[in-house]
Amino acid sequence: IESAYDPMALSRSQAAGLWQFIPDTGRLYGLEQSWYYDGRRDPLASTQAAYDYLTKLNDTFNSWELALAAYNAGPGTVSRAIKRNQALGLATDFWSLKLPAETMAYVPRFLAVAALFKSPESFNVQLASIPNRSHFRTITTPGPLSLNEVASLTGLSPQLLRDLNPGLRRDSNAPNGPFQWHVPASLDVALENQLIQSSGPVRVVAQNNSGKPIDSPFLPATLVSASDTAPATTTSFSTD
């Protein structure tokens, strides 16, 4: 709702991606954030994290309205509002709570969009037909590749690769992984195999506290590496 389906969306509170994760919550749900890669902008990684987070919130509050409110305002804010109402002998459902104005608008908007997509004819709306098939698949290579290398090997345009891989911040895999590329589902398997065979070896890099690679031996650094080479695998994304 807040991102308008734009993986590059960024709020004033530094919430990023399709599901608008703030940095700390993103890390809590496994979304890596480095100089090379931001999992909050990756459509697959962020959607899985949002599913896990919303599921946990629903288990906590036993209400999807309250889960959505907690997703937007934070579980602590919702818990405090519930306790205030309990102390006053008032109802504790979402509609009875006093929550931030943004949250009170967010939940109805979310529910309205869900109802619209579930039953557009009830609202005299015609939605474009979208085939229920994979638009892209994910290739995992044994080592890192640059965006230009992937474009050259596959014949795909650099801009298309950027659009499919918004989590990459530097047009390249991180030297220590993950070594994944989202490519069109229609990509020829022979080109996929060529991509896998052409990836470079896992590298060890020095980086500063922000994760940015550094060249000077006089700067404080942490050595990071991948201990094992990841096996080549392919996964697909479906609209199911």
* Alpha-carbon distances, residue 106 vs 7, 37, 77, 117, 235 (angstroms): 19, 28, 15, 17, 33
Per annotation, catalytic residue among 2, 65, 121, 192 = 2
- The first and second tokens of residue 234, run together, are 């392919």
Q: Which amino acid is at 232?
A: A
Before 217, cis peptide (omega within 30)? no
Could you tell me how far CA 174 lies from the centroid of its own chain?
A: 17
Is 2 part of the annotated catalytic residue set? yes
Question: Which residues are within 8 A (CB) of 137 and not within 5 positions of it... i.e. 6 or more apart?
Answer: 182, 183, 184, 185, 187, 234, 235, 236, 237
The torsion of the CA quartet 162, 130, 105, 8, rounded to 10 degrees, works out to 0
Which residues share a beta bridge with 183?
137
Supply the residues annotated as catalytic.
2
